[in-house]
C-alpha cells in the first residue's frame, strides 16, 4: 500500500477514524481510545495503533491516557468526508425514499469513493442542503482549505484553546518560548489572564506563565470544532479540488 501523505489517498479506515473522532469530540476534550474502539467495533489495540499512525501523519494529537483530538488537518479531512455522507443521505432519503437510518449506512460506503466534484454536483442538484434527513448539519464545502483566523496567543480569552501555528523566530524571547515546548502544532489553553496582558497557559501537561510580550510572539488558531454548525464557520472554502492549504509552512 502506498503511503502518500495526501488527502486524496486517505484509506477508508483512516477516513472513518477521523470522522468518528470528529463526531465524538465534545468541544476540545480528547476522545478516549476505548470509546473510539467501541464505536468503530475494533479492538483497543488496533485503535491505539491507528491513532499513533494518525499522529505521525499530523492528523490527530494523541495524549497518552487521555485520547485523541483532531488537528486542523485531520478536521479538514473529517469535514470533507462528513459533507459527502450527508449529501448522499439527503439524496437517498429525499429522492429515493430510503429510510434515514438506512440512508446513513449506505452513505457511509459512498462517502469514501465519491470524488469531490461529483459531491458538489450532487449538492447543487439537491439545492445545496444544509441539514441531513436526521437534522444533522452538513459541513459547508468540499475541497476545503482551512484558513482559520490566526492571531497572537495574547488575543485568546480564558478557557479558550488553540493550536500554535507559528512562533516569531526573530523576536527576543523566541528561544525561551520554544524551550517551553510552544512549538507549532502544540495545543494550548488559557487558564488565566491578567490585566497587563500576561497569561497562565496550559501546554500539553505543563503550565506556564507568559508575559504579554511573549504571548504576542505566538500565533495560534482556535480549536473548537464540536460538531455543531456554528463552529464550522471557521472552515473556509477554497475552490473545489484544491489541496488543503498547509497550515504550518515552518521550515525548521
Q: How many residues bind Zn ion (CB under 5 A)?
A: 2
Site residues (CB under 5 A) for Zn ion, limited to 110-139: 111
Do 116 and 142 meet the contact criterion of CB atoms below 8 Å apart? yes
Binding segment for Zn ion (CB under 5 A), chosen from 107-115, 217-225, 227-235, 240-248, is 107-115
* Closer residue to Zn ion in complex, CB, 14/210: 14
Pairing mode of beta strands 151-152, 206-210:
unpaired
Provide the grid cell at 93.
432519503
| Range 64-93, binding Zn ion (CB under 5 A) | none
Query: With binding defined as CB under 5 A, does residue 108 bind Zn ion?
Result: yes
Q: Which residue, 85 or 216, has its beta carbon nearer to Zn ion?
A: 85
Proportion of the chain in helix, strand, coil states, percent, rounded to 5: 40, 15, 40
- By CB under 5 A, residue 107 contacts Zn ion: no
Report the residue number whose CB is nearest to Zn ion.
Answer: 108
- Report the nearest approach of Zn ion to the CB of residue 115 (Å): 15
Residue 135 is classified by DSSP as: S
Asked whether the beta carbons of 190 and 158 are under 8 A apart, the reply is yes
CB nearer to Zn ion: give 75 or 111: 111
Question: Of 18 and 221, which CB lies nearer to Zn ion in the complex structure?
Answer: 18
Q: Using the rule CB under 5 A, give the single segment among 101-109, 172-180, 194-202, 234-242 that binds Zn ion.
A: 101-109
Nearest distance from C-beta of residue 56 to Zn ion, angstroms: 22
**Element containing residue 64 per DSSP (H, E):** none
DSSP code string of 8-54: GG--HHHHHHHHHHHHH--TTPPBPHHHHHHHHT--HHHHHHHHHHH
Q: Kindly tell me which of 108 and 221 has the beta carbon lying closer to Zn ion.
A: 108
C-alpha cell at 11: 484509506
14 binds Zn ion (CB under 5 A): no
* Alpha-carbon dihedral sign for residues 205, 206, 212, 215: negative
Smallest separation, CB 171 to Zn ion (Å): 45
Residues of this chain that interact with Zn ion (CB under 5 A) are 108, 111
Amino acid at each position: 500500500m502506498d503511503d502518500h501523505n495526501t488527502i486524496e489517498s486517505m484509506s477508508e479506515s483512516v477516513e472513518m477514524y477521523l470522522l468518528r473522532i470528529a463526531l465524538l469530540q465534545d468541544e476540545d476534550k480528547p476522545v478516549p481510545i476505548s470509546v473510539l474502539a467501541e464505536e468503530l467495533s475494533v479492538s483497543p489495540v488496533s485503535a491505539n495503533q491507528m491513532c499513533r499512525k494518525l499522529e505521525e501523519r499530523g492528523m490527530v494529537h494523541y495524549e497518552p491516557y487521555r485520547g485523541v483530538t483532531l488537528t486542523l488537518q485531520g478536521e479538514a479531512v473529517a469535514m470533507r468526508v462528513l459533507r459527502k455522507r450527508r449529501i448522499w443521505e439527503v439524496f437517498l432519503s429525499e429522492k429515493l425514499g430510503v429510510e434515514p437510518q438506512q440512508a446513513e449506512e449506505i452513505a457511509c460506503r459512498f462517502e469514501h469513493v465519491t470524488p469531490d466534484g461529483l459531491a458538489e454536483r450532487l449538492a447543487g442538484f439537491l439545492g445545496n442542503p444544509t441539514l441531513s434527513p436526521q437534522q444533522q448539519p452538513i459541513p459547508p464545502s468540499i475541497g476545503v482549505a482551512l484558513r482559520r483566523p490566526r492571531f497572537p496567543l495574547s488575543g485568546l480569552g480564558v478557557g479558550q484553546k488553540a493550536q500554535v501555528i507559528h512562533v516569531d523566530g526573530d523576536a527576543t524571547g523566541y528561544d525561551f518560548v520554544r524551550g517551553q515546548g510552544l512549538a507549532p502544532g502544540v495545543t494550548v489553553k488559557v487558564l488565566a489572564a491578567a490585566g497587563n496582558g500576561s497569561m497562565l497557559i496550559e501546554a500539553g501537561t505543563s503550565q506556564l506563565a507568559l508575559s504579554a510580550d511573549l504571548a504576542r510572539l505566538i500565533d495560534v488558531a482556535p480549536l473548537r470544532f464540536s460538531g455543531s454548525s456554528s463552529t464550522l464557520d471557521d472552515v473556509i472554502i477554497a475552490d473545489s479540488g484544491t489541496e488543503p492549504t498547509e497550515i504550518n509552512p515552518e521550515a525548521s
